[in-house]
Structure 1
Amino acid sequence: MTHPPRSPDTPAAILQLLRQGRHKAAFKSARTAMRRHKSNPVFANLAGIALGSAGQQREALGYFRKALALDPAFHDARKNLAQTLVLCGQAEAALKPLTRLCADQPGDAGGWYLLAQARLATGDAAGAEDAAGHAIDADPKQGRAHNLRGLARQRLGRLAEAVSDHAAALRLNPRDIEAMINQCAPLSRLLRDDEALALARRAVEGDPAHAGARLALGAQLMAAGRMDDAAVQYRAILDHAPRHARALERLAALGRDRDENTLAAQVAAALKSAPKGSEDRALLGFAAARIATRQQDDTAAARHLSDANAIMATRLPHDRDRDRAHIRSSLARFEPGMQVAPHPAAGDAAGLLPIYILGLPRSGTTLAEAMLAAHGDVRAMGERATPGMLLAPLIETGADFDTEAAAAFARADRAALPGTGGAGHYTDKMPENYRLVGFLRTACPAARFICLRRDPRDVALSMWREIFDGTALAYTYDLAAMADRFNLFAEAMRHWHRVFPGDILDLRYEVLVTDPQAASQAMARHCGLEWTPQMAHPEQGDGAVLTASATQLRQPVHARSVGKWRQHADMLAPFIAGLDPELWPEIR
């Protein structure tokens, strides 16, 4: 018995075209059906799906909105609209429709997952964690929700819980490459570097063509100081995707290609096809600038850096007024002459003491940490997000940091620490900690503070050449905003020196790199440690380095970057003009 041919403009026929990957044909059929069935929202929704599947997300938005205009209760269209808004970088606009959807359909695991995605994209990690939890409650076997909650918990600094979430996703699907990749970062932060490296290898073995897996393995190898092995991973990505922006940027950062002209040509070709205003274009601009710098073409390097930073400044705008108000409100809580009387539980009864390494990013904090970590009684913890995350609600609401609050903070912060292997001290070099000195000193009066001071113009040059993950360093993409933040940093440190006289060791980067023995001895004295010769040779350490300084730290200490800003004064002119000479006497 033969069946009559299926009409080409029925929902079933259009879905069949989508499953076959025939997106243009599916869109054409959906458009035809829309004209024939003007009041049926299903076809507008299918037209949007077809466009989105073809990579035309922005064009798809109008069709999802059309479907919702025809039927405001059409939940699939609402989910598709929200997901597409997130993909288009409009996560804020996705929150309202998703919140409504989850209120109307509280058992819809997919809706909660999308809400978690949108919240995470807008920086609301706590809200993302909550929404992902609802998704898991609605469908415990939804591995992607466990994975997403793990990412939210990473942002919140709750690394052990993040590891647990990614592990849950892997139990549900042992071949989940994304879960393997996402697990690597928190494992490294918990000082479980061997596990992170093994998991990254497993991800690559599971899918050798997966660029994200190769990037994760490359990052782990770089952190371990195995730069040549990392380069192999990035080149493997280019075998499958010759214009992969992140792989090209990483290779340019490593500077290990024998034929740099070939790498330069690959970057140039990728730049020609990269969409204007895209992150890929910015990544390629930073890569091109690195190559031009090594080829001593400062004019080309400056042009590429200007273009790349402009893209990132547009994509990640920095709110200078909010930044200023936020920092100054923290400073205002602690005044010179105030009595600091912490609750007994706020201290550290076990004797494990933090050493907070303060300073602007690229000011030598990683090198200082490595010197301290060469001492057998110090464990390097890198950039810990936990203190800032724990204190953020209190700072935002203006709640009192009384003795009970200090004790609660100290307990929660300690609970988030990984094992220290018997060391009595640990380092925390999170850049933003300079805002929190009053809180940290109150919670643990025995804590030690070291502040790295480097010529701000050299710091700015280093920042201007770097692309950073996340939004915390968005100010680095705008020279005027960078000067404003530098002034706030100097203002904050002047304030803390007045509030806690003698508690903070100021250490010049220039001394750190020209006389590492004297610098490491000064840090040891300040921290109550017995100096050891190994502290003057941090390049010999075998600990992982998870910041942009990974490549530099594997070299013997050198002073080649001191004063390099002078060669680029014209490029840095807007920054230099914005510095306050009262706060930065070295620029007078």
Structure 2
Amino acid sequence: MAASLSVEKSLTQARQAAKKQDWLTAVTLNQAVLERFPKNKKAAKALAEMRVVATEGLFQRAQVAEQQDDWPAAITHLRAAFYLAPTHPQVACALAKCLLEDDQAVEALKVCDDILAISADLPRALILRGQALHELNRPDEAVQVLEKARVLTPDDTIIYRLLGAVAQSQGELETAEQHFEAGLQVDPMDVGLLRHISVVKRKVDASDPLIAQMRQAIAKLGKDNPRSAYVQFALFDLLHKCKDHAAAFSHLQQGNALLAKTTPYDFRSEAIAGAYAKSLFPEPIPESGTEPDTRFIFVTGLPRTGTTLTERILARDANVQACGELNILRAAVIQQMQTLQAKGQAQLSAQDIQALRDLLLSEFDSLSDGRPVMVDKMPLNFRWIGFIAAALPEARIVHMSRDPRAVAWSLYRQVFKGRAQGFVNSFDDIARFMIYHRDLMQHWNKVCGDRVFDLGYGALVNEPIASTKALAEATRLTWSEDWLTPEKATNHVRTASAVQVTQPVYKDSDQGWRVYEAELAPMLKALTTAGLI
């Protein structure tokens, strides 16, 4: 909008905004003038004059947004601050951190590289760069930069968490445990480390000192402290492995109840977005006149339905790049829907579809390693299947299904990053989300037809040859016996499935909920009432 204003009007509005300490508007307007006319002295002078006070003001407002987990607002203010002060290490690191929280690892890496070009041994920037590399599936580089950071700041437990996470993502569970233990030597009460070590630790008995250590951490934090929730989940993991099921489930309930209270799920916004997405595709989506070669594979479904296992199977093909869970599709679709709503536009035009396609291709190209097929296994992309079918005819869509009881139990026992999966903390919310998922998939199956390939998790693990051959046919890839050993895949796994999928396929996981069948009676009732079982 600023670019459409005359230069004088832009400068006038920028001055007025600066007087009101509306630093974001003031910086944005002057920046727009300089982008059009790089030699404009008035805009350059205005930015120079406000640099110190505006940088501080923008940084403070970003901190407020960050405290509210409003990452887009925090990023917007920090980008403006970074534009004003590109050599300010605190601003650069804050921006990189928020970008990582918002799943924008590519830009976060660039910000880290920019600041490290000025200050090569800045520990915080090195740590954030390591995290960005980890999230971009570049584990060897991540370890290298994190080890450099450890030499500089050996007492920073974030380094040990990240080193352990990288090892875990590669299936190196003993190495991961060693990193987490090293971090706990620095800070025995580090909540993140306690949660991580509970996942990878294989040998546990009732006398394990970690159990007492975790109980001490909860007592120190207080049961109502949101951070205690993660320790409750860690205790569940350890006690579950000890087969102390009653105590384990008690901690799991407490952890979920605390998360449900502190981060309630916004079903209204979810339902509105889903209804609007459906309204944009009321009729069957026309197929392209030709059958293009597969370039993208989207593996979708409810979380914990086997999306990671399916990605590992596909990754056994040398031509496939397994990208993990990307935020590209969601960000592009949300941006487009917001634009359409602002215009009062009820239908997608051919130009809208082309614009979405151009954006998606650009984003995917930025992550491509040159292999012809890319896999995005973000489960919640089931919400945008119509957009995939319309904008990317060269994409194949795989939708995972699984026994609802196994899914609900697996969701309830996990801690997920961010609020997008906040529905997992109560049985009623899980059932509600499953109904929403079922309704949306009924619509996509209606308008997309056989462009959506349904793959059952039970069949995948119990009838692997037939299921993987059907998957190969649906994705137009060439099946081989390698598809039967997904545990040998070398792709990076950064999700809760990392421990399971780096091991041989476990065929009885759908029955795991039965150990807690009595405790899960409310969950089973909610699923029954919803008509899901």
Q: Give TM-score, length-normalised by structure 2.
A: 0.84
Check conservation: 2:93, 2:125, Cα contact below 8 A.
yes
Residue pair 2:305, 2:457 contacting (<8 A) in 1 also: yes
Mapping 1:70-469, distance limit 5 Å: 107-155=53-101, 157-257=103-203, 261-337=208-284, 339=286, 353-396=295-338, 397-398=340-341, 399=345, 400-417=347-364, 418-469=366-417
SS at match of 2:305: coil
Shift of 1:195: 1.0
Shift of 1:413: 1.9
| Local SS of the residue matching 2:393 | coil
State the 1:363 CA deviation.
0.8
For 2:302, the aligned partner's letter is L
Contact 1:189/1:381 (<8 A) preserved: no
Larger Rg: 1
Residue 271 (structure 1) shift: 2.1
1:574 equivalent in alignment to 2:516: no
- Which residue identity is paired with 1:435? R
Q: 1:534-577 CA deviation, whole Å, 9 max, x = no partner?
A: 11101011221111111111110111212222332333333333
The structural deviation recorded for 1:158 is: 4.2
Deviations 1:265-304 (A, max 9, x none): 2222222222232233111100111112112122111110
What letter matches 2:249 in structure 1?
A
How far, CA to CA, are the matches of 1:402 and 1:122 in structure 2? Answer: 36
Cα distance, 1:578 vs. partner?
A: 2.9
After superposing the two structures, state which structure 1 stretch, 161-170 or 501-510, moved more.
Answer: 161-170
Q: TM-score, normalization: structure 1?
A: 0.76
Amino acid at match of 2:251: H
User: Is the counterpart of residue 550 in structure 1 residue 488 in structure 2?
Assistant: no
CA distance in 1: counterparts of 2:67 and 2:231, whole angstroms: 23
Structure 1 match to 2:507: 559
Secondary structure at 1:236 match in 2 = helix
**Which amino acid is the alignment partner of residue 427 of structure 1?**
V
Aligned to 1:535: 483
By how many angstroms is 1:388 displaced? 0.5
Relative contact order, CA 8 A, sep 6+: which one is greater?
2
Q: Distance in 2 between matches of 1:215 and 1:582?
A: 40
Letter of the 1:387 counterpart: L
8 Å CA contact 1:367–1:538 kept in 2: the answer is yes
When residues 324 and 114 of structure 1 are mapped into structure 2, their CA distance, relative to the original with a 3 A threshold, is same
Alpha-carbon displacement from aligned partner over 1:184-228 (angstroms, at most 9, x marks no partner): 333234332211121122222221111111111111111111111
Deviation at 1:121, TM superposition (A): 4.2
The answer to whether the Cα contact below 8 Å between 1:371 and 1:538 also exists between their aligned partners in 2 is: yes
Paired residues, number: 479
Give the letter for the 2:262 counterpart.
Answer: R
Partner of 1:18 in structure 2? Answer: none
Name stretches of at least 5 consecutive residues in structure 2 with no aligned partner: 1-18, 22-49
Q: Secondary structure at the match of 1:505?
A: strand
Partner of 2:53, secondary structure, is coil
For the residues of structure 1 that align with 2:294 and 2:129, how far apart are their CA atoms? 27
State the AA in 2 paired with 1:469: K
Q: 1:319 to 1:522 in 2, by over 3 A?
A: same
Cα distance change of structure 1 residues 403 and 583 upon mapping to structure 2, 3 Å threshold:
farther
User: 1:380–1:128: structure 2 CA closer, same or farther, 3 Å change rule?
Assistant: same
Q: Is the CA contact 2:75–2:98 (under 8 Å) kept in the aligned structure 1?
A: yes
Instruction: After superposition, give the CA deviation of every residue in 1:332-363 in whole Å (9 maximum; x if it has no partner).
Output: 22124454679x9xx98xx6611010111111
Distance 2:90 2:362 in 1: 27
CA distance in 2, matches of 1:341, 1:126: 35
Amino acid at match of 1:426: M
Query: What RMSD, in angstroms, separates the aligned Cα atoms of the two structures?
Result: 2.5
Three-state SS of the structure 1 residue aligned to 2:449 is coil
| Farther-moved stretch of structure 1 (106-115 vs 551-560) | 106-115
Show the counterpart of 1:49: none
% identity of equivalent residues:
26
- The superposition leaves residues 160-194 of structure 1 with CA deviations (integer Å, 9 ceiling, x where unpaired) of 22211011232333333222222233323433221
Classify 1:174/1:256 alpha carbon distance in 2 versus 1 (closer, same or farther; 3 Å).
farther
CA distance in 2, matches of 1:285, 1:419: 37
> What secondary structure, in the 3-state scheme, does the structure 1 residue paired with 2:308 have?
helix
Deviation of 1:155 after TM superposition, in Å, equals 5.0
